[in-house]
Amino acid sequence: MNRTTKKLHEIGQSLWLDNITRGLLASGTLERYIHELSITGLTSNPTIFDHAIKNSHDYDGAISQKIKEGKSGEALFFELAIEDLRQAADLFLPTHDRTDGVDGWVSLEVSPLLARDTAATLAAAKALHARAERPNLFIKIPGTSEGLPAIEEAIFAGVPVNVTLLFSGEQYVAAAEAYLRGIERRIAAGLNPDVGSVASLFVSRWDVAVAKTAPEALHNKLGIAIAEDAYEKYRALLDSPRSQRILNAGAHPQRLLWASTGTKDPNASDILYVEALALPFTVNTMPEATLKALTAHEEFGEALPSNPGEKLAQFAKAGIDTEAVAAQLLEEGVASFAKSWKDLLDCIASKSQVLKAA
């Protein structure tokens, strides 16, 4: 077992892989990561599947078979994705069982084209979770204004949710409150309150967004400051009477997850966000390149106590409106995932035509 990845678990953080491909599954690489690198969960998104299908022939046979069955477009994609994620979920099931549902999760996203449609998002979340037939599969729903009521309703319906595309402490709190409302309604209705959830805060995109406007002394520091602010709000919410009441009734708390933790600046440490955010009772889902970079380090420093308010004040003094940037990043995230979704469906359509001709 790798020393540095094991250390994250000793700190109290779960280490997940932000990637899935059929090749990772078929080659046994994911299973090896679980046993050797302490990986205890996995996330996926449209961009990951687009690259997996576009850049390999691993899916060609399955696509050909589904074409013969009359499948195409979204329906064909979701069959491919669910097949992959069922296999991954089964690999993580021992972890899920051992931790009583705290860890060992995989994630599947609803169509990003539904990000502004509450009813359609909820319907898709329920349908996908039922089709997957795995207890340790999250459905990813974006933390947009339209996504929040869908999150509450999905939790109330017993669908585990990974809230995606969160960019600030305030957006995190809104998502956490949607989760709490769903659990509180289940308790009031006499239903089992144990419905899993994580809230995914995207980190590195902050530093990319302000790279040209932040003073040099503040480069690569805003994403960490935003994450630390969200962590303070997270711990305060966990300690609140409201959270304690649902925990007393048998719920698990929604965990805070660090997403977009790959270093974008080639001049910065390749584990910049891993070191800074090695915090208890959180999840870090990292790209494969970051995972490999982490394993190459013999040691890394633990996160130190900080004052995120003081750090954020420095950015405000430099003229950076973090509230406006958070709103911008959310809009850009929704648009980026929608583009990846369209690219993914175009890729499947193109491959389908080639395979039909063959």
d(CA 191, CA 188): 8
For β-strands 137-142 and 282-286, DSSP reports them as unpaired
The answer to whether the beta carbons of residues 80 and 67 sit under 8 Å apart is no
CB half-sphere exposure, 221, CA atoms < 13 A: 18
Structure-token match 């308010």, residue found:
309
**C-alpha distances out from residue 262 to 202, 206, 269, 272, Å:** 10, 12, 10, 8
Looking up tokens 């970051």 gives 290
- CB-based contact 200:171 (threshold 8 Å): no
Per-residue DSSP letter, 193: -
Whether 230 contacts 286, CB under 8 Å: no
Task: For residue 207, give the nearest of 315, 288, 126 by alpha carbon.
Answer: 315
CA–CA distance, 44 with 140 (Å, rounded to integer): 9
Angle between helices 322-357 and 222-238 (to 10 degrees): 100
Catalytic residues: 140
CA distances from 147 to 5, 118, 119, 132, 142 (A): 33, 6, 9, 21, 6
Q: Which of 237, 227, 104, 118 is nearest to 177 (CA)?
A: 237
Looking only at Cα atoms, what is the longest distance across the chain?
A: 63
